Amino acid sequence: MTKPTRRKFLWYSVAAGLSTIALGSWQKASLGQSDCPRPEKMSERFCDRNGDLVADTPDNPIDPRTLVFAYTPVEDPAVYRDVWAGFLDHMRQVTGKRVQFFAVDSNAAQLEAMRAGRLHVAGFNTGSVPFAVNFAGFVPFTMMAANDGSFGYEMEIIVPADSPIQSVEELKGKQIAFTSPTSNSGFKAPSALLKSEFNMEKDQDYSSTFSGSHENSILGVYNNDYTAASIANSVLSRMKARGVVEGNELRTIYKSDTFPTTAYGYIYNLEPQLAAKIKEAFRTFEWEGSQLKEEFSKSGEDQFIPITYQKEWEVIRKIDNALGVSYTNP
């Protein structure tokens, strides 16, 4: 059994050299747009006058009677409806609004729901956050972390434990399961590293398929439906803890550096006072004894910490720039 390796992505330094620095990108985009400056990759629907890379609140913000909340797509939405129930009750008390859980079946559906104004508060997976910010007007402000403040997850490429495949190089000519095109650990990061570190091109040196979620990819490898899959190990940890999969039935052949995890935030055009109340709900939620802690402590998370898109998602933007990703066409 090959011991999982932990390497720095070779393409990180390349991306850092070739990519446009976020602030410089904003300054370039703002030239000739003094009335409504924005980053180059942001939809023309939005303005970013303070240069924080997220959409400004418009002059005519909304104050919905019911707040709609969605967690990132998962294999069994019913499980997470119950997990989030206590938190949503807390948000009701803090905001004075009705709060509805919206089960989304894909990243694309979640993005479109926020862009259309049908989704007000959400958790977007790591790779989808730049799309949500630039395409849908998402304003991320928090994410989950461990008690000591550490956060994040690693991308792993997994195979069945009894697979003859012992290294990434041995995936040449094989099929790799990804989750969705907007996922960081489920597609973008592994695509970049396979190309830069192993000289393996998608649809040339290996074939690909999309499962729709990390849970589906993990179960596919677990049941020998997939030869290999790229997944977020935080999801795998929770599935092992719930007894959905047995850890000894899976084997890791690649492990990445740490990435930021799911970001939580609200749609840009909410009334500022309501947005502040939503932030308060996340900040004041009592984790101890909650279903949220019972579920997410399985991957070492038991609090919400403040974040900014400009800082914590810099590495993800560099990956996307290296891949030539367009945020306004997810």
Asked if residue 63 lies in contact with residue 271, where contact means CB atoms within 8 angstroms, the answer is yes
How sure is the predictor about 328, in pLDDT bands with cuts at 50, 70 and 90? confident
Orientation angle between helical segments 233-241 and 214-222, nearest 10 degrees: 60
> 154-259 adopts what CATH topology?
D-Maltodextrin-Binding Protein; domain 2 (3.40.190)
| Alpha-carbon gap, residue 133 to 310, rounded angstroms | 11
How much of the chain, in percent, has pLDDT values that exceed 70? 89
Q: How many CB atoms lie within 10 A of CB 259?
A: 22
pLDDT, tens digit, for every residue of 190-249? 998 898 889 999 999 999 999 999 999 999 999 999 999 999 999 999 999 999 999 899
Q: What is the CATH number of domain 22-149+261-323?
A: 3.40.190.10
Asked if residue 1 lies in contact with residue 165, where contact means CB atoms within 8 angstroms, the answer is no
Asked if residue 245 lies in contact with residue 214, where contact means CB atoms within 8 angstroms, the answer is no
pLDDT, tens digit, for every residue of 47-93? 999 999 999 999 999 999 999 999 998 767 778 999 999 999 999 99
Q: What is the pLDDT of residue 23?
A: 38
pLDDT higher than 60, residue 26 = no
Q: How many CB atoms lie within 10 A of CB 311?
A: 11
Q: Which residues pair with 251 in a beta bridge?
A: 159
Q: What is the pLDDT of residue 11?
A: 37
Q: What is the pLDDT of residue 29?
A: 43
Q: Half-sphere exposure (CA, 13 Å, Cβ side) for 245?
A: 25
Quickly list H helices, 116-186.
129-136
How sure is the predictor about 318, in pLDDT bands with cuts at 50, 70 and 90? confident
How sure is the predictor about 329, in pLDDT bands with cuts at 50, 70 and 90? confident
pLDDT higher than 90, residue 252 = yes
Ranked by mean pLDDT, the top range of 6-20, 102-116, 265-279, 312-326 is 265-279
Say whether 72 sits in a helix, a strand or coil.
coil
pLDDT higher than 80, residue 254 = yes
| Alpha-carbon gap, residue 232 to 184, rounded angstroms | 9
pLDDT higher than 50, residue 30 = no
pLDDT higher than 70, residue 12 = no
Which ranges in the chain are annotated with CATH 3.40.190.10? 22-149+261-323, 154-259
Please name which of 233, 269, 267, 271 lies closest in space to residue 251, comparing C-alpha atoms. Answer: 233
Q: Average pLDDT in the 123-136 region?
A: 96
pLDDT, tens digit, for every residue of 134-178? 999 999 999 999 999 999 889 999 999 999 999 999 999 999 999
Q: What is the mean pLDDT of the chain?
A: 89
| Alpha-carbon gap, residue 85 to 289, rounded angstroms | 13
How sure is the predictor about 33, in pLDDT bands with cuts at 50, 70 and 90? low
How sure is the predictor about 117, in pLDDT bands with cuts at 50, 70 and 90? very high
221 CB-contact burial (10 Å; exposed 0-12 / middle 13-18 / buried 19+): buried
Q: Average pLDDT in the 113-133 region?
A: 97
Q: Which residues pair with 206 in a beta bridge?
A: 202
CB neighbours of 59 closer than 8 A, spacing ≥ 6? none
Asked if residue 178 lies in contact with residue 209, where contact means CB atoms within 8 angstroms, the answer is yes
